[in-house]
Amino acid sequence: MKRKHRAALRKSFVYTFLIFYAIFTLLPIYWVFVTSVKPSSEVESFPPTLLPHAFSLEHYKFVFLKTRVVRGIVNSLLVTLAVTGISLVSASMAGYSLARFRFPGKNALSAAILGLYLIPPVVNVIPLFLLLRTLGLLNTLWALILAYQALVLPLLTFLLRNYFESIPQELEESALVDGCTRLGALWRVTLPLSIPGLATAAIFAFIFSWNEFIFALLFLFSDELKTFQLTLMEFVKLYRIDWGALTAAMVIGMAPVIFFLIVAQRYLIAGLLGGAIKR
C-alpha cells in the first residue's frame, strides 16, 4: 500500500508540475492573441483584462493594409524555404559521407563540424559582412540565404550523420548487389528511411531562419527586402509601442511556423531519437 501511495503521490506531483509548466508556457501566446483582438481603447487599459470586453479585428486590418508585414512574411518565407532546402541537400551529402565512408581525418573533421556549431553566431557577423560586401551581395536576400546556410549546416550535418549511422548498412549493400550505384542506394534506400531525421533537420533550419534577427538587421538596408522580424520594429516608436498592431503581426507571423510544425511534428521525436539507437 505504501508503494502504491508513493507512486500515486509521485504521479500527482509530476502531473501538477506539467500542468503548471504548460500554463506558464502557453500564457504568453494566449496573451498575445487576446491583445490582438482587443479594441485600441482596451489594449492599454489598467488593470488588464484576461478576456476582451469586445472582439475587434481592427489591428489585423491595419497590419494587412497599412504596413509592410505581409511583404516581410513573403521575404522571410523565401529565405527560410531556400535555406531549408539547400541545407538539407548539403547536410545529407556531408552526413552520409561521414557515416558511410572511411578516410583519414574523419573523426577530426566530425569534431570540427560540431565545434563550428558551438561558436556563437554573433561571432561570425563581421567576417560574413566583409565577405558578402566583397561579393556584392549585401542588401539582397541571397546574403541571408548564404549566411543562414553556413550557420545551420554544422548542426544538420551532425544530426543527419548520427541518423544515417542508425540505418543498417546491409540494406545499402543489398541495393548495391542488385545493381544500384552508391548514389542510387542513397536516393532509393537511405533517404526514404531517413525521413524522420530529415524532417527534424528541416524544422531546425526553418525555425532558425524564420526567427533570426541580427544578421537581417545588419545585411539588409532596403525596406522592400526586410524580413518579418524586422517589420515588427515598425510598431516600436520612440515614446510608444503599438501593442495592438504588434501582437496582431506576431499572431500572423506565428501561423507559418505552427503550420510547418503540425505537418512535421510526427517525425520530430523519431528524428531526435533515431541517432541515439545503434544497430
The candidate with the shortest Cα–Cα distance to 83, out of 164, 150, 7, is: 150
Please indicate, yes or no, whether residues 86 and 218 belong to a single structural domain of this protein. Answer: yes
**pLDDT, position 271:** 52
**pLDDT, position 279:** 46
Q: Which domain holds residue 12?
A: 2-36
| 46 falls within a domain | no
Q: Determine the Cα–Cα distance for residues 3 and 1; give it in Å rounded to an integer.
A: 5
All residue ranges of the chain with pLDDT < 50 are: 275-279
pTM for the structure as a whole: 0.82
**pLDDT, position 278:** 46
Burial 69-92 (b: 16+ CB within 10 A, else e): bebbbebbbebbbbbbebbbeebb
C-alpha separations of 53 from 46, 58, 62, 184, 212 in Å: 13, 15, 20, 62, 35
Q: Determine the Cα–Cα distance for residues 265 and 267; give it in Å rounded to an integer.
A: 5
Please indicate, yes or no, whether residues 207 and 73 belong to a single structural domain of this protein. Answer: yes
Please indicate, yes or no, whether residues 32 and 98 belong to a single structural domain of this protein. Answer: no
Cell of 225: 527586402
| 43 falls within a domain | no
Please indicate, yes or no, whether residues 80 and 194 belong to a single structural domain of this protein. Answer: yes
Please indicate, yes or no, whether residues 20 and 95 belong to a single structural domain of this protein. Answer: no
**pLDDT, position 133:** 92
Please indicate, yes or no, whether residues 129 and 198 belong to a single structural domain of this protein. Answer: yes
**pLDDT, position 166:** 84
| Structural domain count of the chain | 2
**pLDDT, position 130:** 93
| 41 falls within a domain | no
